[in-house]
Structure 1
Amino acid sequence: MAIRKMVQADIDAVSTLCMAAFNASVAPTVSAQGVETFRKVASAEAFQQRMQGDNLMLVFEDAATLKGILELREGRHLAMLFIHPQHQRQGIGQALVAAMTAHARVAAITVKASLTSVPAYLRYGFQCTGDAGEDAGLSYQPMELQVVAKP
């Protein structure tokens, strides 16, 4: 098992993994607009574009199977964290979050957590920082993770 940077060859598998996780836990709780918004964000084309920007994309791979994906924008905002539904609650999310913190450029990493994922983020050490909101049909809870300063 390994955490590594996402490469071009991973894009289709990552897009598929994100949609599977979203459809299993988030899609039933949001509007059709929210599902469409996420479909666009998780498309292979959207990942391809974001790979060209200031985004760190990490994958968790085990036995040549991608089991999780994390995207950190500009070293400050956790844009995506998805674990394949068959592999949730096995420490993959925690491992990806721990790996991400080494790349933080700020004292606190932010996330707009889907409402169904708030308990997981709390387990990862995030704290709620404001009222829940909605953007393009997707409901979210603003949260942040204090990053431990390196000696």
Structure 2
Amino acid sequence: MIIRKLEEEDLEAVNAICMDSFLQSVAGSLSDEGITTFSNIAACDAFLGRMKGDNLILVAESDEKIEGVIELKEGRHIAMLFILPERQKNGIGRKLLLSALSYAKTETVTVSASLSSVTAYEKYGFERSGEVDESAGLVYQPMEIKLNERQACVLQP
């Protein structure tokens, strides 16, 4: 498996991964507004715009097939982390996260974790940093990791 930067020809595959994973694990707990909001964020043109901006978007590729994606916004916030549903729990998320954190521009990296992903982020070393909140129909748990203290947790297999 290789971790590399997103390229334009990857956009459809990345959109499909995000939508498949979201629909299986998150969408059932959200309102129609939340589903629409996420669909707009995961759209190919939205990814393209963020890719050309200040966001770092990495993909995990195995045998020329994209299996996961992570987006680091402004070097300080994990905006997306999705793995093909059938490839979850194989270490792909950990590898993507570790790669993205190496580009962090701050000692504290945050994530607005979907409620179904909180346990996974805790395994990666993130801690809850506030109360559950909602924005545009998306319900999330604010979390953060302090790299100087917690990086060892992320590095563990």
Report the TM-score when normalising by structure 2. Answer: 0.93
Aligned pairs for 1:70-109 within 5 A? 70-109=70-109
Aligned pairs for 1:33-52 within 5 A? 33-52=33-52
Question: What are structure 2's unaligned runs of at least 5 residues?
Answer: 152-157
The alpha carbon displacement at 1:148 in A equals 2.9
Q: If each structure's helix is expressed as a fraction of its own residues, which one has the higher value? A: 2
Distance 2:37 2:98 in 1: 28
Distance 2:105 2:48 in 1: 23
Partner residue of 2:68? 68
The question of 1:122 aligning with 2:122 is answered yes
Q: Cα deviations across residues 54-96 of structure 1 (Å, max 9, x unaligned)?
A: 0000000011111110000110010000011000000011111
Distance 2:126 2:140 in 1: 14
Partner residue of 1:13? 13
The alpha carbon displacement at 1:122 in A equals 0.5
Provide the aligned C-alpha RMSD in A.
1.2
SS in 1 for 2:148: coil
The alpha carbon displacement at 1:145 in A equals 1.1
Report the TM-score when normalising by structure 1. Answer: 0.97
Partner residue of 2:112? 112
Percent identity over the alignment is 47
The alpha carbon displacement at 1:124 in A equals 0.8
SS in 2 for 1:139: strand
Distance 2:146 2:84 in 1: 26
Could you list the structure 1 runs, at least 4 aligned residues long, displaced by more than 6 angstroms after superposition.
none
Distance 1:116 1:8 in 2: 29
**Quick one: which amino acid aligns to residue 31 of structure 1?**
S
Distance 1:144 1:135 in 2: 18
